[in-house]
Amino acid sequence: MISHRQANAQRIAALDERAEALHLKRGMGIADARAMHPSIDVVEADPETDRRLLESLADWCDRYTPLVAIDAADGLYLDVTGCTHLFGGERAMLDDILSRFFHQGFDVRAGLAATPGAAWAAARFSGDRIVPGGEEEALLAPLPLAALRIEPDIRASLESVGLRTAGAVMAAPRAPLARRFGRSLLLRLDQALGRLDEAVSPRLPVAPLSVERHLAEPIMLTDEIERLVKMLATTLKADLERRGEGARRLALLLFRVDGAVSRIAVGTSRPLREPLLIQKLFHERLAALEQDIDAGYGFDLVRLSVLSAAAFDMQQADLTGETRDDSADIALFADRIRARLGDSAVLKPVAVESHLPERAVAMLPYAEAPQRVSAPKQPDKIQDTSRPVLRPERPIRLFRSPEPIEVPATEMPEGPPLNFRWRRALYRVARAEGPERIAPEWWREAAGQEATRDYFRIEDSDGRRYWLYRQGLYGASQAAPRWFMHGVFA
Amino acid sequence: MTPLDSSAALWNLLEHNRNNCEWKLTVMATSAVARETVFALRRQIAKIEGTLPERLQAPAGAAPVDAPQDPTADVTPKNIPPKNLTIVRRGLAVAPPDAFVRTGAEGLDTALGGGLPKAALSEIHGAATRDAGAVAGFALSLVSLILKQGPRLPVLWIGTAEIFREAGFPYATGLHRLFGIEPEQLLFSEAPRLLDALWTAEEAARMTALAAVILEIRGSPQRLDLTATRRLHARAQSAGRPVFLLRQAGEPEPTAAPVRLVLSAAPSAPRQTIAGPLAGSIGRPAFTVSIGKSRTALPGQFTLEWNPDERSFEERRAGERRQERAANPVPVVSASRRGKDPAPASGAVLAFAAVGSPAAGDQPSPGERAAHRRPRRAG
């Protein structure tokens, strides 16, 4: 028996068959129930866990149809339109669902009808029933008002005027019903009877393409999964070619025999349709996830879906039949690294218009970085035309966050330090150049708090060159200026 | 796995004895039988190590050593050495001249037998993490030299999160200005663990679509052993692309890399202006390169200066910088640091002139020098 707190009292939220046999009911106070049967076992409700369980069941139901929606706290909608023939008809499919759930240890009721409302009512009130199209009225008529999915207060007021079954409501004139009980009653009624369409919003976006394979014998080994991925990708290739597309995101769904579903997604930086390459990507991903995927008793259904696709531009082969595209190689390489080490494993610098050194280069993941379309310019042309005569020197390495250094003394108040202490070591400044003043960008928010920086190029007594800056000005601000190490020169 | 593969001990032996033993063997093996044995051994070693060509020089002092521009030149008849020397090329294949990255610094290139091998793993060491700028700068200037000649392919820089945190992340703007490598040509990979970085490097080393791969590691991790470096070296060889292994604060360990250079920063020469060197300024980057290990070279030390405009190295001879400085002791243009203060002449000179007699006119006694002109105290 499960209790939950409702209206400041512990009440029964759910109970099993044996508790029902003791004439306990939902909504009864725990104190009353204990008074009747002191030996009952009460467990606190955990809606979060229940939800997660329901979601994992929904994942598992993905094997029947990609359109799975969660209904309130205890139901699932499966839109099986066009899927039933894959499982040998409606009856066979329903039996398959029920028996598999039963073997997983769930007590499930199911109904199958042409409308979500009728299926809901069939599942909850008449149990394991298939309602042929057009017979929704016959199904609903004898059922209580609760089968109409209407709010409790509407139900109470309907009952108070003597309309106790759905059939009675259907027989009543529509206009007074709408006037008295609101539009939602008629809406629910029409939806259940199929006069109005009702959309069930699926949990996951439906993949434009997916291929799957049911396996008679569950597979457990990574090699077998990879081989299967290649077979599925080969099937997928024909579909992608027909659509003139390539996959940008792919997901591999592994349905375990006992109901757990593993979902493995890989992204590509350019549209892809070659089965071998797809297999390679999943090879890396599976290698990275080796610890996380528990094959258990094996997977009995493997599905490969294309989550998003993009137009695939064909490559023209040259006369020798070879296409030499280095950037494609690099894209594939980046994808493989990304599949194994995460999205930001391969970074590409992108120049940003900014004076602040740390903002002037943005590091973007390879797949998101803009790809250069035109051929790269020749370096000598750049030197001749667009290069400004004098450009400030920039370090070759920049610390992600400038490191504070101790500067005991400077030669002049505004000048470079004579020596400094960085990471506990003392450095003597042999030569210095500067300052180069970089003010915060006033057009950005939060620039007001930042202080002006004066950068110095420093060469220490051993010849190493550093980039230091003094934050703030002497005498200008209340606090003494602070010194930071920001970069290293070659 | 061959028995040689499994015996790291033999490798260590080769590693340690390479520089010393070869000379002795070459010279001492006078009898034909012994020479045959040596050649057979050599061939076997070359097989194990790959077919890196080698030019063995005579021991120092035996004869003037020819320094051919082309590494293949010494097999031509006109360069046959005197009979008392035996010059042996190890390795079965004759390398084409573009098998090397020529640094352009004559001394270093000659010492390395033509330059750094292009299709190989090369180690570049820095003694401490604070040398990261010099180590990375030297590697990038080599990359810049490769890019200058070859196609404009991207460069991949792999590092562990640790090294990027400790030594700073490569800064694309600075790299562009100094080495002419455009941001579009750069790819970075930051791996949280060394194992991931090594895996990425191995995958990258076999790609011909990359101009070069830079793997940066801090310290001397156990993982980066002979096997790991040999895998990298073999992949670099088959792809024909260089892999630069940057090791910050690492101990020299036996690795499969044929060349190891130890880098440190050298004080830069002052900036050259139209009026001459600008005193107190920091000019072009300079590096001190010492050859830590090479199959051909004896240990040596070179000071190179990188010219960002020409994208080339210039070798600095010992004492060259001092002469330059001595020739132009006076700053021609006031540098920012030792900026000439325009004020002191007005009040101070008059006051001092009344009290003492400045000797010889142009040199005031030390006590009379303005504070800012005093030689700087260290520390």
**Residues A340-367, mean pLDDT to the nearest whole number:** 88
Instruction: Please say if the pLDDT value at position B40 is more than 50.
Output: yes
Q: Beta partners for A11?
A: A4, A29
ipTM reported for the complex surpasses 0.85: no
Q: What is the pLDDT of residue A448?
A: 64
Query: How much is the average pLDDT of B203-212?
Result: 91
What is the per-residue pLDDT for A83? 85
Q: Model confidence over B266-304: pLDDT tens digits?
A: 999 888 888 888 888 898 999 999 998 887 777 788 999
Exposed/middle/buried for B205, CB within 10 Å: 0-12, 13-18, 19+? buried
Domain closes at, from B95, B128, B143: B95
Summarize pLDDT for A32-66 with one digit per residue, the tens.
Answer: 888 888 888 888 888 899 899 998 899 888 888 88
Average pLDDT of every residue of chain A: 84
Q: How far apart are CA B252 and CA B229, in angstroms?
A: 13
pLDDT for residue B306: 93
- Which one-letter DSSP state was computed for residue A123? I
pLDDT over 60 at A452, yes or no: yes
The shortest CB-CB distance from B209 to any of A330, A350, A490 is to A330
Same-domain check for residues B176 and B48: no
Q: Is the pLDDT of residue A353 over 90?
A: no
pLDDT classification of A322: cutoffs 50, 70, 90: low
Asked if residue B154 has pLDDT above 50, the reply is yes
- Is residue A457 within 8 angstroms of chain B, CB to CB? yes
B18 and B105 housed in the same domain = no
DSSP strand pairing (B259-266 vs B286-293): antiparallel
Cα dihedral value A84, A87, A92, A97, nearest 10: -90
Asked if B147 and B214 touch (Cβ cutoff 8 Å), the reply is no
Which member of A327, A337, A398 has the closest CB to residue B171?
A: A398
Range of the domain at B182: 98-325
Residue A94, number of CB atoms within 10 A of its CB: 19
- Does A377 have pLDDT greater than 80? no
Which among A22-31, A236-245, A448-457 has the top mean pLDDT? A236-245
| Whether the predicted pLDDT of A484 surpasses 50 | yes
Are B221 and B306 contained in the same domain?
yes
Q: Band of the pLDDT at B326, cuts 50, 70, 90?
A: very low
In this structure, are B91 and B237 located in the same domain? Answer: no
Do residue A397 and residue B169 have CB atoms under 8 angstroms apart?
Answer: yes
**Which residue segments constitute the domains of chain A, with CATH numbers given?**
2-45 (3.40.1170), 48-193 (no CATH), 209-314+325-338 (3.30.1490.100), 397-488 (no CATH)
CB A466 within 8 A of CB A449: no
> Looking at the structure, do residues B186 and B204 belong to the same domain, yes or no?
yes
Compute the average pLDDT of residues A424-435.
91
Q: Is A285 a residue whose pLDDT tops 70?
A: yes
What is the count of structural domains for chain B? Answer: 2
Mean pLDDT in residue range B133-153: 91
More confident residue, B312 or B113: B312
pLDDT level of residue A295 (50, 70, 90 thresholds): confident
The shortest CB-CB distance from B133 to any of A329, A360, A489 is to: A489
B212 and B319 co-located in one domain: yes
Inform me whether the C-beta atom of residue A358 falls under 8 Å from chain B C-beta atoms.
Answer: no
Mean pLDDT, residues B341-348: 43
Nearest chain A residue to B204, by CA: A333
The B residues from 163 to 222 touching A (CB cutoff 8 Å) are: 164-165, 167-175, 177-180, 182-192, 196, 199-200, 203-204, 207-210
pLDDT digits (tens, 9 = 90+) for A185-218: 888 888 888 888 888 888 888 888 889 898 989 9
Q: Which of the residue ranges B2-6, B144-148, B264-268 would you say has the lowest mean pLDDT?
A: B2-6
**Considering the domain boundaries, does residue B370 fall inside one?**
no
Task: Please provide the DSSP assignment of B68-117 as one string.
Answer: -SSTTGGGSGGGPPPTT------SSSPPPGGGEE--S-HHHHHHTTSSEE
- Which among A346, A361, A464 is the nearest to B133, CB-wise? A464
Name which of B162, B169, B210, B287 to mutate to probe chain A: the one with the most chain A Cβ atoms within 10 A of its Cβ.
B169
Q: For tokens 């080969």, what's the residue? A: A234
Among the candidates B37, B72, B95, a domain finishes at: B95
Subunit contact B337:A416, Cβ cutoff 8 A: yes
In chain A, the residue whose alpha carbon lies closest to the alpha carbon of B372 is A411
* Chain A: residue whose CA lies nearest to B147: A379
Contact: A415, B208; criterion CB under 8 Å? no
Classify residue B374: in a domain, yes or no.
no
Averaged over B162-170, what is the pLDDT?
A: 93
CB < 8 Å from A in window 293-312 of B: 306
Residue A86, chain B, CB below 8 Å: the answer is no
- Closest-CA distance, B158 to chain A, in angstroms, reads 9
Banded model confidence at residue B84, pLDDT cuts 50, 70, 90 = very low
> In sequence order, which ranges of B154-253 are alpha helices (DSSP H)?
161-167, 172-179, 194-205, 226-239
CATH number for B244:
3.40.50.300
Q: Is residue A336 within 8 angstroms of chain B, CB to CB?
A: yes
Inside any domain, residue B366:
no
Regarding whether B146 and B53 lie in a shared domain, the answer is no
